[in-house]
Chain A
Amino acid sequence: MTPVAIVGSGLAGFTVYQALRRGGLEPGQIAVFGPERDPAAVWRRRAEAIRQRAMRSESDGHCGPSSFPGLAFTGARRRRSLRPLVASLADRYHPTVEEFLEHVERRRARSGWDESVVESRVERVRAVDGGFELDGHGAFRHVLVAPGHPGLNLPAELRGDRRAVHAYEPHDYASTVTVVGAGLAAATEWLNALAAGAEVVSVRRREPLRRPLNVPRPYFSRRGLAGFHALGPAERAARLRTLLAPSYPPGRAFDEPLARAAAEGRFRVEAAVDGTEQVICATGFLRGYRHDPLLAALVREHGLETAGAWIVLAPDCTVPALTDDTRTLALAGVPAQWAFPAADTLAGARYAGHRFLARIGSCRTR
């Protein structure tokens, strides 16, 4: 039995893979199942669609197994400048998308990722004696499932509307554009459409939150997580809904162009979609395990505990009912938010990777 499998070959699975490699596992001991070898393929397409130039994350928003050296350190070395490090001291360093993708490529080449990848989409994970059976690929003692987002979320009232396009799908900009949403993708699209000369209408259900990262910083460490993990299921689900509300970073990069455009009459906020030529839905992704066939089947077939849209996980991202001294089933990426609210970030994937590695290390039968 090959000891370890990762289901999902995107950035979350890739980041977990880096943690396992740092923990001493060889490429031959890890099998990665996914539809593409390039771990950044899906992310790259989305970033291109919204014309993203810089990362929201900071120096430690990378796929490496430890927060140091971060991308600011690498950037300083490559640019022969202290500026990235100084900016990082004040949490103002945001690597460019190119820098991030180069980093992924370097890690991919160095870590032996391609040796471990099996180009196959796993659609079912089934518990068997001492491990898990993966769709005819055999049994694995320790499995981490990182399936990514289950799909793009298009508001029901706009489905079938020929003007509507999701922000993460390739698109250009018409002369009048409505952007639905209040998160970073929406804010990026406001600026993109304005830069393309469009008149922009922002439609949103709530005023956007302004914060540097997806969730408040203490939730990235045990300091905030300890209290979060102590919450009961109902309170934790409510807290998650609050924490995961759409937000984008504060700062002049957004405020100044929007204020200028508003003064020129090219940017306004409205309550509902009106008669613009194009509607861009920056409404994120479908939420909840029910939208993911693999996770939905996993819950159904094994009777797993759930709370709202989430599978109930232990603080270390493992599925309690399917994890014991001899085997591990863990989640990473967005379905791991029950354990780590910012699970859909690279830091969240790193967290899941470290915990998964610790489980493997403590397993009696490894």
Chain B
Amino acid sequence: MSYTLTGRVSSRLTALLPVLLAACGLAAALHRAWPVELVALMAGVGVLLDVQAWHRLPYQPAWAALPLGAAELGLVTAIVLGAGLHVPFLPALGLFGAGWLASVLLSQAAFPALRPGYAEDGGELGRLGAVGAAGVVLALAGSAATVYARRPPVVHLEAGVHRGPLVITRREVLEGEPGAVVRGGIVIRHDDVRVEDVTVVGGENGITVEGVRGTVLRGVTVSGAKLDGIHVRLADVMIEDCTVDMLGNPLGQGIDISYNMDLGMSRVEGCTVVGGMEGIVTHSSMTDIVDNEVSRTRERGISVTEMSMGTVAENEVRDALGVGLLCNDRSVCTFEHNTVVGTRDDSASGNASRSGYGLLASFQSEAEVEGNELDANPVPMGTVVDSLIRPVE
């Protein structure tokens, strides 16, 4: 078909309307904004390409929907990754695919059937197009208004020591003023909680996140926990710019994120972890671990284990005991641009796989590596028990 610019844009927006409404329903069901954000991004990218690129095509055969759709998918994916949007890959791909399919079916079949002059009008839909475009704008505006109206309340934690454990049982943002300290730990028991700039001292775990969605920990400082510094179970979490001091605790982990494989990606970024048995560890989890500093642990520095998946990138691990970076127990890991220095030999423990590896893949695991600096480690890199290390493809 030879689209006019108005025809292209109105067809696109009208075709997107049912997908957007479905995304609104999905967002309501999941209590997540990403479906609507993604459809808004699809609409924005699509209209931009319509105006800047696709409109230059004097004629668009039906098959062109495939390469044009692939180009739009590529651009949307690049923006999602570049902007760090927290979007689960497969469901997002499914939503994009549904949008593309709806667009093809509507423009090739439904619109011409509903509006006989559709093809000769260059895809223009008249009143239907205006209603469709208005529907998209209203649905997006309504979604934005809903998100705005449902923003969690902000609780300011005054400077000074507050007795814990502090148990959070509603959506809220807990913002610590400079000098705000919670003694006895924080327990998060509700979805969509954000904790910022709070210092936690003591507690069973410093911060416990269990069975909830959408937790964000930003700028928290944890020390003196009896078990783990930050303990995450069956929950997805974003941890940014934290400090965890586990010195004097030989058994706890600095940050332990476990059993959330089905909850999408979690992320630990910009944290400093000192001491503890393991600095950062994931079990059965999809977590990216990026730009952290881990030092002086009693065992591994960073450990991705028990069928976990994730990227470990740009971290600095110093003075670990036995292993600096570990990919273990049927996990699939990508190690890129990490620095591992001064891992100590622990073969005295009787375990040969702890003889000071900078990077180790163990027990049927697969690790892809690129650009890691592994200095002053007794064994820079190795594999044990049917594991594999290969360059990043």
Q: Which residues of A pack against B, CB within 8 Å? A: 19, 22, 60, 65-69, 88-91, 216-218, 220-226, 347, 350-351, 354
User: Which residues of chain B are within 8 angstroms of A222 by Cβ–Cβ distance?
Assistant: 4, 7, 120-122, 124
- A351 with B120: CB separation less than 8 A: yes
Bound-state CA distance A350–B118 (Å) is: 11
A223 touches B3 (CB 8 A): yes
In the assembled complex, 6 residue pairs joining A and B whose CB atoms fall closer than 8 Å, in A order, are: A66-B115, A66-B116, A66-B118, A68-B112, A216-B58, A217-B59
Docked pose: A223 CA to B119 CA in angstroms: 10
- For the residues of B in contact with A, the DSSP-based class is loop
Among A65, A66, A69, max chain B CB count under 10 A is at A66
- Please determine whether B119 and A221 come into contact, CB atoms closer than 8 angstroms: yes
The CA-CA distance from A68 to B116 in the complex, in Å, is 8
| Residue contact A354 to B61, C-beta cutoff 8 Å | no
State how many angstroms separate the Cβ of B47 from the closest Cβ of chain A: 18
Q: A226: which B residues are within 8 A, CB to CB?
A: 4
Closest Cβ of chain B to A241, distance in Å, is 21
Produce 1/0 per residue, B118-146, CB < 8 A to A. Answer: 11111110000000000000000000000
10 A-B pairs with least C-beta separation: A66-B116, A68-B112, A222-B122, A223-B2, A221-B2, A218-B2, A221-B122, A217-B59, A89-B62, A67-B119
Residues of A contacting B: mostly: helix
B212 within 8 A of partner (CB):
no
Beta-carbon contact of B3 and A354 below 8 Å: no
Distance between Cα atoms of A42 and B119 in the complex (Å): 28
Interface centre among A68, A216, A218, A224 (most CB of B within 10 A): A68
Given known pairs A89-B63, A223-B3, A223-B122, the reply for A22 and B58 (CB within 8 Å) is no
Q: Kindly state whether residue B117 has any CB partner on chain A within 8 Å.
A: yes
The answer to whether B116 and A354 have CB atoms under 8 Å apart is: yes
Closest to B59 in A: A217
A60, A65, A217, A221: most-surrounded residue (chain B CB, <10 A): A221
Residues in A neighbouring B3, C-beta threshold 8 A? 221, 223
Q: Is the CB of B120 within 8 A of A69?
A: no
Whether A89 contacts B61 in the complex (CB less than 8 A), given A60-B119, A221-B4, A222-B4, comes out as yes
Q: How far is the CA of A60 from the CA of B116 in the complex (A)?
A: 12
- B residues 102-122 with Cβ under 8 Å of A? 108-110, 112-113, 115-122
Q: Is the CB of A68 within 8 A of B113?
A: yes
The 8 Å CB contact of A91, one of B61, B113, B118, is B61
State whether A347 touches B120 (Cβ < 8 A): yes
Known contacts A67-B112, A68-B113, A223-B3: A90-B63 contact under CB 8 Å? yes
